[in-house]
Amino acid sequence: MIQTFSTIAVALICPLMMIFMMKGMHGHSSTHSMHGSSKRKFGSREEELDDLKEQLADLQAEYDQLSSELRRQSPESRSSSVSSPHLVKSHQ
């Protein structure tokens, strides 16, 4: 009897805990977003496009910096590092 009750309790508690944990994770996503602009309000498409171009330029600069650091590494350590894809250059 007790074993049956404990089995049923565990079977019910697991999905409930998962629901609460998922709700907790989604509740914090707005404040801990990976992309800072995901919740921004834009007055026009042009403002949003300008913001995206700025983000692209920042990412390109970061990529260029990391690429130059990798080129400065010794050949032995460079062969063990993973190559990263090239960012798409914007056509302006």
pLDDT in tens, 26-61: 766 554 444 554 567 888 999 999 999 999 999 999
Q: Produce one character per residue of 28-49: b if its CB has 16 or more CB atoms within 10 Å, e if not.
A: eeeeeeeeeeeeeeeeeeeeee
Token pair belonging to 47: 């403002």
Task: Give pLDDT, residue 32.
Answer: 47
More confident residue, 6 or 40: 6
Are 71 and 83 a contacting pair, CB within 8 Å?
A: no
Q: How far apart are CA 66 and CA 6, in angstroms?
A: 55
Task: Give pLDDT, residue 24.
Answer: 82
More confident residue, 16 or 64: 64
